[in-house]
């Protein structure tokens, strides 16, 4: 049975991909939509998100933003140039994307400043389990999982969903116009860039994943990809939930434990 996959259809048409990829995307849609429908982003879009929640979101998400190029570098180290078409494709994608993501931390800092959050606040913000778990998950999957699984969790799921919620926030001018005129441009640069380029990047990642694994990967490998994508969505929802708690309580219950990260490991090891 021929396993090799080479995309011939449109990059952003799910029908261009193997049946197993289409099934995984379909089976993880519910978790994805829970994030897209989260109150955090609708309130942000409408400029009604309470300041404590915005600040907690910016501080709590910073570790993932700042370390994302490192996660991709961890995946890049798994590739030997010339090994396969899929690995060469993934190598080119990661090298290019690392350069892009390295600039985005600066844009996040500008966004944070518009909410009264300093670089020191970002760097020394208290680690809250519900927020920092996303960065820990990215590290774990990039360190432990095969290349295709790790890219599915980070470059496809997290980058893709980030692009979609950014598009949603930018779908109205309300948040943009709520900021002082002299800082609107730099303060929303991160949002606008992700709303634009991430429309293509997750599809490119999906193309890499399909080419790496082919038409007929093992059932266990498909399950690892599915679980990794689902886990990324769950951790993104968890981060949004914990940011919203700041609106109600002003602070979090700082009861960090290893339970969340062990759960992430189980999602891969159970496959």
Of residues 74, 107, 61, 66, the one with CA closest to residue 236:
61
Q: What is the pLDDT of residues 12-66, one digit of tens each?
A: 999 999 999 999 999 999 999 999 999 999 999 999 999 999 999 999 999 999 9
Of residues 186, 180, 139, 176, the one with CA closest to residue 158:
139
233, 34 contact by CB (below 8 A): yes
- Number of neighbouring beta carbons within 10 Å of residue 3: 10
**Cα–Cα distances in angstroms (integers) from residue 159 to residues 5, 28, 81, 109, in the given order:** 23, 15, 24, 18
- Quick one: pLDDT at residue 252? 37
C-alpha 222/C-alpha 167 separation (Å) is: 29
81, 88 contact by CB (below 8 A): yes
208, 93 contact by CB (below 8 A): yes
Q: How many residues does the chain have?
A: 271
C-alpha 68/C-alpha 66 separation (Å) is: 6
Of residues 214, 210, 252, the one with CA closest to residue 53:
252
Half-sphere exposure of 9 (CA within 13 A, CB side): 9
- Quick one: pLDDT at residue 57? 95
C-alpha 228/C-alpha 61 separation (Å) is: 19
For residue 99, count CB atoms less than 10 angstroms from its CB and return exposed for 0-12, middle for 13-18, buried for 19 or more: exposed
pLDDT-derived band of residue 266, with 50, 70 and 90 as boundaries?
low
Q: N- to C-terminal Cα distance for the chain? A: 24
- Quick one: pLDDT at residue 262? 41
- Quick one: pLDDT at residue 102? 81
What fold is seen in the domain 16-269?
A: Heme Oxygenase; Chain A (1.20.910)
Secondary structure (DSSP) of 147-181: HHHHHIIIIIIIHHHHHHHHHHHTTSSHHHHHS-T
Please give the angle made by the CA atoms of 3, 204 and 233, to the nearest 5 degrees. Answer: 95
Predicted structure pTM score: 0.90
> Is it the case that residue 124 has pLDDT exceeding 90?
no
- Quick one: pLDDT at residue 27? 98
Contacts of 119 (CB under 8 A, 6+ apart): 109, 112
Structure tokens given for 149: 């699984």
What integer best gives the mean pLDDT of the chain? 89
Structure tokens given for 48: 């009604």
Domain ranges of the chain: 16-269
């Amino acid at each position: 049975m021929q396993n090799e996959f080479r995309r011939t259809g449109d990059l952003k048409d799910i029908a261009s991909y193997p049946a197993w990829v289409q099934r995984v995307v379909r089976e993880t849609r519910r978790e994805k939509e829970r994030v897209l429908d989260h109150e955090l982003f609708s309130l942000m879009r409408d400029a009604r998100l309470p300041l404590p929640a915005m600040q907690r979101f910016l501080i709590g998400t910073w570790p993932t933003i700042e370390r994302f190029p490192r996660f991709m570098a961890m995946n890049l180290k798994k590739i030997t140039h010339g090994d396969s078409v899929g690995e060469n494709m993934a190598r080119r994608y990661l090298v290019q994307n690392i350069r892009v993501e390295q600039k985005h931390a600066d844009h996040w800092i500008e966004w944070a400043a518009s909410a009264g959050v300093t670089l020191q606040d970002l760097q020394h913000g208290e680690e809250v389990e519900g927020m920092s778990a996303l960065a820990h998950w990215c590290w774990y999957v990039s360190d432990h999982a095969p290349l295709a699984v790790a890219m599915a969790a980070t470059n496809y799921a997290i980058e893709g969903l980030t692009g979609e919620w950014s598009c949603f926030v930018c779908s109205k001018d309300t948040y943009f116009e709520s900021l002082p005129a002299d800082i609107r441009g730099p303060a929303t640069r991160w949002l606008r860039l992700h709303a634009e380029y991430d429309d293509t990047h997750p599809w490119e990642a999906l193309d890499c994943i399909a080419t790496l694994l082919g038409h007929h990967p093992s059932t266990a490998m498909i399950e690892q990809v599915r679980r990794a994508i689902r886990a990324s969505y769950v951790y993104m929802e968890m981060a949004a939930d914990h940011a919203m708690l700041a609106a109600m309580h002003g602070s979090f219950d700082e009861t960090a434990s290893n339970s969340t990260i062990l759960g992430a490991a189980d999602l891969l090891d159970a496959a």
